[in-house]
Amino acid sequence: MPCVSNVRGRSTLNNARLSRKFCRRMALLARAFIHRARLMRYILWGMVKEGYYFGLPLLLFGGVAYLAHWTIVAVVLVCLAIFVFWFFRDPERVIPAEPGAIVSPGDGRVVVVTDEEDAGRPGKRISIFLAVWNVHVNRAPAAGVITRMEYRPGKFLAAMRERASIENEQNVFTLSTDAGEMVFKQIAGWIARRVVSWKKEGERVARGERIGLVRFGSRVDVWMPKDAEILVEVGENVKGGSSVLARWLPKISSLHSGERESAGVEANVSAVGRQN
């Protein structure tokens, strides 16, 4: 009987030690997360939902690896989770209010400014390369209605290459604005293999409004008719929604048409008022 009691005592003692060790590890893990809470709050507060889909599983597995004493694996997974949260950040931007401003659809560096025809119409194209460290949320370059939206499957060439504008997978938006019709594209790259649009054909968008994202490195193109005044040069760094790429003032006929429509609405409202 004394032997049985000793065995039970040692077993209870071992369980208590394991419990204390587990509690200490949990406390250390909780302390580490608390110390990083400010950074995590900053990242998670301004992040698109895709960040949660990719980042939270990595963070969870990192916690499990830490508890299982796989320290290096845990550190790698947590670092990857933080990178994913940071990659999918979605900061607020100050949208220019000046008439005719065409803003950048994304963050990055201007790699092409060239004359180019679109469906036989002379115009100009600006291409912007988004590196992995850039914000990848895309924005509408101008206010208007999306009259056509086309998904084009394709290759995944490096987004820096000129052929990427034509051959890579992309979403092509045709936007009808007060100044006329323009085109902009979300283009996948060698690392980015997924173009995501949050808008549909027929929807109205505001200048600088979020319209989608491209995952992990990509390119955006903007095409405008030849009467648009280009304000950027190759090599410039731009911010989506806030940097002005060009100035393209509304046509006089469009302005007059808008004034006539407003006058017609006011007249109808007055007529209804008199009838009542």
Active site residues: 218
Counting every residue written for the chain, the total comes to 276
Comparing CA positions, the residue from 133, 132, 141 lying closest to residue 106 is 141
Angle (CA) 254-259-261 rounded to 5° is 95
Crossing angle between the packed helical segments 37-45 and 2-35, to the nearest 10 degrees: 60
CA gap 78, 65 in Å, rounded: 10
Q: Is residue 188 within 8 Å of residue 86, measured between CB atoms?
A: no
